[in-house]
Structures are given as structure tokens and as C-alpha cells.
Structure 1
């Protein structure tokens, strides 16, 4: 067994966990973050990309609305390279009752959410695809956010302050003695060895899995309710600004422009197991029908990928146990000393990705109070290390980089002489290899989360084999493992393709099938005896 000594162990590598690791490390605590998979592979990487203005919750949850508005402004400043300041509109569609819109602007003022009603003609000028029958329009400060770039930015900032980030380390138990946490025990899934991390405090930021982690410390009954929802990415950006229905929160009432696509979301159903999330065909149809209300012709447009995520909602006794749509979105910190008599353990749940920094501040504040330490939080003032570029990358910026001349053109795939591996996202070999260089024992999905490999219209049909070949050519993996990396990558892409197999996407998938299972005969290529750890 390998032993690591630290003061703080953060369990969970989503946005909250990465934010907590950054906050704790910036306050001078030796910190280790562990996650059973890659960073941002859970809820953080499975959402619609909305940087909330707060407008969505001004009526149903004003406190959360105020928090979103405040943190929206902070994130645009400290992580500008992960955020796109698109702006947003709340619109009353032709089928919507105007009663909600009548009180919307006043509710925004009460919650301190910037908002202004604008003429419908102005909304139609800014969003030409918007339903011409739109009755009301309100301007808000929504944006879009790259969840993976945000979480990796926070993690690398934490590392710059001395934190250790251990991905693919699965927690198996939390040891405590005499009412005090002593160690977090993990299994290193890639080295296949047990790791003991001795600590004073464990901060449970495991999202929908937080109840399971708490139970490993014999703190049972932490009621985190997973609220599952599906989202669909469309073939290209249909809208310039975030479009919201000006109604009580409902299914399919948001369309977010994110990178090269627009994303519609989301449903909200209680699930028993956040590891087993389905993408039902009826919910896919529900999303397409809902999109039609704001953008006529939405049903006929090409969908390129669907996915499901689970929100970590704290049980709200004011609504039914299975009514995740109407549970509060506010954050909550569970003190296990007060609740279970176990010192050195806190659990956090609820909240939004938009409020991840504030969630981190609150749980680390609580830890400091229990430790008797006075160490102020600085995360709202100091930009995240590495965010100096100041703007989220766009295809235009990547195209500009591609076209810049190289000293040694080599294989000329582009005007500047750079080899383009993924045409959809204009990902060059140089950038791909840079990501591979920074990862250990990576999968192609690990690379995808950092570089958006295979996330465009071809969904990996052309670039996946190139990336696998480059990994093998670099000497990172042998031929058999490269084949297994490719097979796993395509398998994971397929999960989000089969629910939307119609029209253009069905034709694209048929082409990909004939490339990999027809021409290349992928199923019968030699594979390693040990399965790739995702």
C-alpha cells in the first residue's frame, strides 16, 4: 500500500471539487484531490453549458438567482478563457401565457439579477431564427461556459499552489477513530494498487454520489437526490445568445450556443442510480418539440449528439421525493460532526456549476472554522492560473492559428503547414500532441475532454483513427492498445448517437460504421487482454 500524507483530501473531481482544491490550496492547506475517473467526467461534463444569469430562478428560487448573478460576473472575470459572454434572452413564445412575463422584470430586480425588457423587433433582429410570433423579450446576462476548461483551469491553479490531483483513484473507505477522520483509502485503478491518504479533513464533493461517499465513513442517510436530465447538441450554432422560455422552469426551455453547436436542455426526472442514465426516445422527441416553440424548424434540424447528466439535489421536504424539477437549487453543507459525531468530514450538495466557486468558499470556510483557523478566501479576486488569454477559444481563433506559417511546414494539410487532425474543431496535431504530453495513461476520451476531439458533426468518424495512430506513432501505446483506445472512444460516442439516428445523423453514422466495421474491420483487430480503464 502506498501512503500519502496531507491535511485535506477532496473527494470528487467535478467543478465543485476542483474549486475546493483550489480554494484550500490557496489558503495554504496541503491538499489532495481524488476522483474515480477523469476530471469533469460526471455532472460537470454532462450539462448544457449555461452560465446562469440568475433569471431562470428569480421566481422559483430567488436566493439561488442572486448567487448565480453574483458568480456569473466573478467567473467572467477570473476564468474568462472558459466563459463566452453571449448574453441571453427570456422570451414569451406564442404558446406561453404572458402572466409569468408580467412579473418577471420585477422579480429580477428583487433578486438583484440585471434584466431589461426590449422590443420584440429588437430580439428578432438579434436572433433571426427566433419565432416571429414571440410576444415578449427580456435581456439578461447569460453566457456559456466550457465545463471541462473551467474544471481543468481550477485544478491546474490548485496544482500551482501545491495541491495534488489524482484521477482514476476510487475511494473505497474513509477511516476515522475516536470521532476524527484519519485517512481516505483509494484504489489506483490504473496501477491497481491501494493508496492510503492520511489527513485531518475530508471534503465530500462527489455530487450525486456524495451519499455513497459519506456512507464509507459510516455516515449514512445523506439524502442527495440525483435529478437526471437529457440534452441534445445540434449541428451548428442556431442562436447567438442563450434563449430561455419566459415561463416557470420546464423541460426543454433553454437553447445554449456553445462552441460550434447549440444545446437544448433539459428534462428533469429522479433517478436511483447516477451511473446508469438512459436517453429515452420520448424525451429526445420532447426536446425537439420544445425547441420548435422558440426556433421554428428545430425538429427538422440535424442533431449530432445526446447525453444525460444527474444534478446533485439536496432532498427538499417541501416537495414530493421524486419531484426533482421543483427541488431548490441552492447549495447545502452537511456537518458530519454535528450530524454523526465524526469530525473532519463535510459534505456539500446542490448548487449550480455557475456557483461552484462560492460552494468551494463556503465549505472551506466551514472547515477553517472547525479547525480554528483564520484563513480568508481569495478565489473571487485572483484569476485562475492559466486564464490570462482572457477569451474562450473559437473556431475563428483556431483557424487563425492553423493558417500561421510554420518554420518547417512538413505535411501541408493547411495553408500554414500544420497538420489538421480534427477538421470539425480545427484541432491540429501540435495541439493534440500537447494534450497527450500532459496526460498519463490517457484514453482518447481524456484527450477529447481537453481538446474537443471528435465533438463536431463527424463525431469521431474521421479524426478518431488519426488520433489513435498518432498515440501509437508517438510511442505512448502499442498497436493493440491503440486499437482498444479507438474502440472504446467509438463505443462512448455511440451512446450519444443511437437515440438520435434520423436524417443527416443516420447517414453520417452509417458512413462511420462502414469505415470502422467495414473497411477497417475494427471488431476483429488484435486487442489487449486488459480492458482500457475509462
Structure 2
């Protein structure tokens, strides 16, 4: 069978490895650190219904609701079906709640309009000033366990999962990418899949390909108390400091969106944490007295095919699948952008393309339930990563 190297051990890379291995491809996954150590592990844990993107990015919204439904079935021990509310305050744009409701319906996202009083009955700590709300099927997801479960599924299907294995170069012969180089030596393959997230541009550059990534940092702050049972969103166009996520007796506040030049070296600013409380305390006034457990930052792997966007929030959260044969580098495929909620769709599309290029049949569904997530987390030694990004 053909051999494929997948570079990147986040949700997408682990998902690609699982898809390919299930189709009988010989797969080696290489992750420079630990699985889920990049954007996948350092996110706020929302399983998006798509409502957040329905107005400005309906394509991403439709992808999210489709994958939301699938992941509830495929990864039940990683997902909590808590539901979500988009709450409207007097300071939020007039008419936006109606615009959002209409956009959700257009994207096949179930939505229920609530009065402020009804919203407070469901979430008693909401502010008295909440005028109305939309109930949507947001959920929460444990990203570290989800990545681990995909990696274990890939391994059980025959894939080799390698942590702490950085790629130092791509091997190019007669214009074709034929493998990678690591500290342990050279590894050849029929295809290399670039699933390196915010570092995808760096990997592509090893083959003289200009892949325009636009990484953006975001902070998540964890409180010692839990302030809502559902995912709470500010009912306004997507911006910083507009989401509150329940997690095991705690709350996670998110997030900011600040462009960075180097996803390995960027400032972590206290003003970002302060902004979260400034923007979310009007939704839940008790947050003004909250005790912070800790904060952590992640870097989004945003793709910017037409550079010069001034605001990272304006970039699509959809994904792009790039066959670099079109750039004169056959043998290399990049999967960029997207969200953790849509990782499975990204992996499936990538595997379909690779299998097509390698003449491998993709008959038969790989959309089967994932293995036990706790067992998978233990198998790959990810307990410390869980502790760093999620409260105990």
C-alpha cells in the first residue's frame, strides 16, 4: 500500500491519520511536541452549532451544524450537549437578534427565541438587562481527549503515531515532495500531508511554497466557579470577549483575536484577560467578583489567501484543502484553516484527495464511533496537557 506522512498532531492531523489508516494506507503521523499541544488543545471547548458564523460566514455555519450532529454520535464521551444561548443586551446592535435568527434558519441551525425573563429562568445568573435570547444547539467538547481518541483509532487501524518528532525539512526530488527529514533521519513517502496548523506556512516553505497563513492569538481565562450551565454568547457580530463556556464546575471566558507574526513567540498581554471580564460581566454580573484559576493562550491557524486583512475576526473559519501539484510540488497536500468542530470533515476531504491521487479506494464509511477517550489520553500521556488547559 502507499505510504503517507501526516505532519501535525492536532485534531485535523489525527483525524487525517485515522481516515487514511482506515482505508488501508500505511500512515506515519509526526508531531513535534505532544498531541493536541497547538490550537486544538488551547481552545475554549465549544462544539459550535454554527450560529456564531451564520450571519457573516454561512458556509462555515453549515459545516459546523453538520459536524456538531455527527460528533455527538461519534464521540459521546468527549461531548456534552449543554446547549447555548445568544443573549441580547441594550448595548448590542438593534435588530441583530432577528438577523441572527433568520440566518440560523437559513443554515439549518435550530433556533428558539426567548424573552429575557425566560432566558433568566434557564440561566439565573444572567443580567436583569438581558432583553432576549436565542437558544441554539451549542455543546462543549474536550479537545485533548478528542485528539487522543482519533490518534488511538488511527493507531489501531495500523498508523504509527510519533510525538516529540519535529520535521526539519521536506525532501524534494525532481520537483516532487518525496518525504521528510527529522532528527532521526529521512523518511520517504508517496505523499506528505501538511496539517501543521499555524505552522503550515513554515512547513510549506521547506518546499519553496508560499502558503499565506495569518496566525492570531486568543486568550482563555478559567474561573474557579461555574456561572452558567449553557454556552453563553453575546448577541452581536463576532468580536473579542463574547463567549462563556461551562466546564466541570468552572467557566472558561473567551476570547481575543490578535494577529501574531510567530506562533512560537508572541506576547501574552494582561489587557486581554481584562477585556474578557469587561465584555462578559454585563452578561453575567457575578463575573465582576470571579476568582481566576488560570489563563492560557492559543494561536488560530487562520488562512489568508488574499493578504492584508486588517482584522483577524474577519477571516473565514472555513477550511481550505490545497493540492500543491498546482504549485509544481506534487506529493504535498495542505489542509489549513477550519475549526475543531469541523476537523472530521477536514480530515475526510483530505483523505479523499490523497486516496484519489494514490489510486486508493475510499469505499466504505469511516464515520464510526471513536474509542474510549480516557484510555486514549492515558495511552499518549496527555494528562499534563489536560491539566494545563482545563481545571481539575
- Shorter-normalised TM range: over 0.9
- The one of 165, 182, 187 aligned to 1:197: 187
CA contact (8 A) 1:157 1:386 kept: no
User: What residue number does 1:41 align with?
Assistant: 37
User: What residue number does 1:507 align with?
Assistant: none
Deviation of 1:240 after TM superposition, in Å, equals 0.2
User: What residue number does 1:212 align with?
Assistant: 202
User: What residue number does 2:319 align with?
Assistant: 331
User: What residue number does 1:73 align with?
Assistant: 69
Q: Deviations over 1:366-411 (max 9, x none)?
A: 112222333146233x111226xxxxx9xxxxxxxxxxxxxxxxxx
Deviation of 1:455 after TM superposition, in Å, equals 5.2
Q: Deviations over 1:168-221 (max 9, x none)?
A: 00001111212332221112xxxxxx23222101000000000001111232x1
Unmatched segments (≥5 aa) in structure 2: none
Deviation of 1:124 after TM superposition, in Å, equals 0.6
User: What residue number does 1:160 align with?
Assistant: 156
User: What residue number does 2:329 align with?
Assistant: 342
Bigger-Rg structure (1/2): 1
CA contact (8 A) 2:85 2:232 kept: yes
Deviation of 1:277 after TM superposition, in Å, equals 3.1
- The one of 33, 50, 56 aligned to 1:54: 50
Q: Quick check: 1:16 aligned with 2:3?
A: no
User: What residue number does 1:285 align with?
Assistant: 274
Deviation of 1:279 after TM superposition, in Å, equals 2.1
Deviation of 1:454 after TM superposition, in Å, equals 9.5
| In 2: Cα distance, 1:22 partner to 1:85 partner | 25
CA contact (8 A) 2:6 2:192 kept: yes
Q: Deviations over 1:281-323 (max 9, x none)?
A: 2111111111112101312211111111111111053x84332
User: What residue number does 1:262 align with?
Assistant: 251
| In 2: Cα distance, 1:447 partner to 1:239 partner | 26
| In 2: Cα distance, 1:283 partner to 1:455 partner | 19
3-state SS, counterpart of residue 45 of structure 1: coil
3-state SS, counterpart of residue 103 of structure 1: helix
Unmatched segments (≥5 aa) in structure 1: 188-193, 388-392, 394-430, 458-534
TM-score, length of structure 2 as denominator length: 0.95
Deviation of 1:79 after TM superposition, in Å, equals 0.5
3-state SS, counterpart of residue 169 of structure 1: coil
| In 2: Cα distance, 1:89 partner to 1:112 partner | 17
Deviation of 1:342 after TM superposition, in Å, equals 1.3
User: What residue number does 1:228 align with?
Assistant: 217
| In 2: Cα distance, 1:337 partner to 1:64 partner | 26
| In 1: Cα distance, 2:129 partner to 2:292 partner | 24
| In 1: Cα distance, 2:364 partner to 2:61 partner | 22
Deviation of 1:260 after TM superposition, in Å, equals 3.2
Q: Quick check: 1:448 aligned with 2:384?
A: yes
Root mean square deviation of aligned Cα: 2.0
3-state SS, counterpart of residue 214 of structure 2: strand
| In 2: Cα distance, 1:343 partner to 1:289 partner | 49
CA contact (8 A) 2:115 2:131 kept: no
CA contact (8 A) 2:198 2:215 kept: yes
Deviation of 1:435 after TM superposition, in Å, equals 7.0
Deviation of 1:347 after TM superposition, in Å, equals 0.6
Gap change, CA 1:169 and 1:109, over 3 Å in 2: same
